């Protein structure tokens, strides 16, 4: 792809260096267009070295090339990170007083904007009005992350990490839009694998990375939802943008957190890989191998609570509202008698949830990977389940398709109230 990376004059401009490298390492052709003030934070030589292309800031450079027209016409995407309050204002007004803003006016490709500024500036009604204007015009304006800002301040307005911006940008370019159709809805998502301790050193776990759950959280938040994530073991990934995260370790801890939060949700998505069993007893000291201690040779296991089924039963008992839509995942492998899809359909019926995504897993499949594929299984009252195959795509694209289908189920639930 031909990607224009725009840079506004904010302290977060240093993160743009990582974004440029991310795109370049994926094989994209990158052209960096900073505003003049952005060069006060990161010099042109840095962006030229990372992108392999010249850096210019005004339409009066290389006039014979008519840069803003050519660059805007040829780009497959424009990604602006960071976008300051000033740049948002100029874009909303349709200004063209530097090379970046002029190029955006010419561009007919997807434009993705990642704001970064102090919390008060982000929440200011003027900024929010500019964001609304840009979104109505079809520009994707990402919600900022929350965290440490310049100085001692902390709050919403932090620029997301480069990998997060790149993942969401690629999702939009792939045709998976980020409409604000989940505005006002509360979504509870579990992610990652649970760990069941054997002793202070060892545990029983699984290969789940948490990537699909975090992708669901990021996409739901970017579509306007208030997202709560209950996260078990995850890879060293930044927290999902716009989501509140609660960390747990074991299946029982996760079950307790889900029970506490699910009554307030509009949708509950169980994307975590929950351990089916746990040791019957946890040793207080490290178990030793050899000698007369056979504890490591023979483990006694007990079954963990079925969290997904438990939420469905709570809805059946009226402990959570009937309008709440409940969805999950089924990590399956086929065998000589049944396919992974067969087992997924059986699990959908057994769990009683509204939606289930079935993945065929194994070494090098799904777990820990950046891409996913499988089937979306939607239950229908008195009818066979609706099966939609999802072709191989990034986990953010899969998350978008999952939420689209969940919207249908949510609408059906709301009509039943």
Active site residues: 206
113 forms beta bridges with 80, 141
288 is an annotated ligand-binding site residue: no
E strand or H helix that includes residue 104 = helix 99-106
306 is an annotated ligand-binding site residue: yes
305 is an annotated ligand-binding site residue: yes
E strand or H helix that includes residue 347 = helix 340-351
Smallest Cα–Cα separation from 106: which of 64, 66, 54? Answer: 66
Sign of CA dihedral 197, 202, 204, 207: positive
Distance CA 44, CA 55 (A): 6
* Residue 126, token pair as written in the block: 């003027």
E strand or H helix that includes residue 414 = helix 395-415
Q: Do 345 and 377 touch, CB atoms closer than 8 A?
A: yes
395 is an annotated ligand-binding site residue: no
Longest CA–CA separation in the chain, Å:
85
Specify burial of residue 1 (Cβ count, 10 A radius: 0-12, 13-18, 19+).
middle
307 is an annotated ligand-binding site residue: yes
Residue 363 carries which DSSP code? T
Question: Which ranges of 208-330 does DSSP label H, i.e. alpha helix?
Answer: 211-222, 251-261, 307-316
Q: Do 149 and 157 touch, CB atoms closer than 8 A?
A: yes
Q: Which long-range contacts (CB under 8 A, 24 or more apart) does 262-265 make?
A: 262/188, 262/311, 262/314, 262/320, 262/324, 263/319, 263/320, 263/321, 264/186, 265/186, 265/187, 265/188, 265/228, 265/320, 265/324
Would you call 52 helix, strand, or coil by DSSP?
Answer: coil
**Binding site per annotation, positions for CTP:** 276, 286, 305-308, 329, 347, 351
Residue set of the binding site: 276, 286, 305-308, 329, 347, 351
């Amino acid at each position: 792809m031909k990607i224009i990376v725009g840079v506004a004059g904010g302290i977060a401009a240093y993160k743009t260096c990582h974004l440029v490298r991310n795109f370049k390492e994926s094989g994209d052709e990158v052209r960096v267009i900073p505003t003049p003030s952005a060069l006060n934070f990161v010099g042109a030589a840095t962006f030229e070295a990372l992108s392999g292309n010249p850096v210019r800031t005004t339409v009066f450079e290389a006039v014979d090339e008519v840069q803003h027209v050519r660059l805007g016409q040829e780009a497959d995407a424009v990604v602006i990170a960071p976008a300051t309050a000033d740049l948002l204002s100029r874009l909303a007004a349709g200004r063209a007083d530097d090379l970046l803003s002029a190029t955006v006016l010419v561009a007919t490709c997807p434009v993705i904007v990642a704001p970064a500024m102090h919390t008060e500036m982000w929440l200011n009604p003027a900024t929010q009005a500019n964001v609304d204007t840009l979104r109505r015009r079809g520009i994707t304006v990402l919600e900022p992350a929350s965290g440490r800002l310049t100085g001692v301040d902390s709050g919403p307005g932090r620029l997301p990490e480069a990998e997060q911006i790149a993942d969401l940008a690629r999702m939009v370019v792939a045709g998976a839009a980020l409409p604000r159709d989940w505005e006002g809805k509360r979504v509870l998502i579990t992610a990652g694998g649970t760990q069941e301790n054997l002793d202070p050193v060892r545990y029983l776990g699984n290969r789940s990375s948490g990537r699909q759950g975090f992708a669901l959280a990021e996409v739901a938040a970017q579509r306007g939802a208030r997202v709560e994530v209950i996260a078990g073991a995850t890879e060293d990934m930044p927290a999902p943008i716009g989501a509140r995260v609660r960390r747990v370790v074991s299946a029982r801890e996760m079950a307790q957190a889900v029970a506490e939060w699910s009554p307030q949700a509009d949708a509950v998505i169980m994307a975590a890989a929950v351990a089916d069993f746990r040791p019957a007893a946890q040793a207080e000291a490290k178990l030793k191998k050899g000698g007369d201690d056979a504890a490591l040779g023979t483990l006694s296991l007990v079954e963990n609570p079925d969290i997904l089924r438990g939420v469905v039963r709570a809805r059946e008992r009226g402990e959570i509202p009937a309008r709440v839509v409940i969805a999950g995942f089924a990590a399956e492998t086929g065998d000589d008698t049944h396919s992974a899809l067969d087992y997924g359909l059986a699990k959908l019926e057994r769990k009683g949830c509204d939606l289930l995504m079935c993945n065929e897993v194994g070494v090098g499949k799904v777990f820990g990977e950046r891409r996913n594929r499988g089937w979306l299984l939607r239950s229908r009252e008195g009818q066979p389940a609706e099966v939609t195959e999802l072709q191989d795509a990034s986990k953010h694209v899969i998350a978008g398709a999952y939420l689209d289908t969940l919207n249908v189920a949510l609408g059906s639930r709301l009509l039943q109230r």
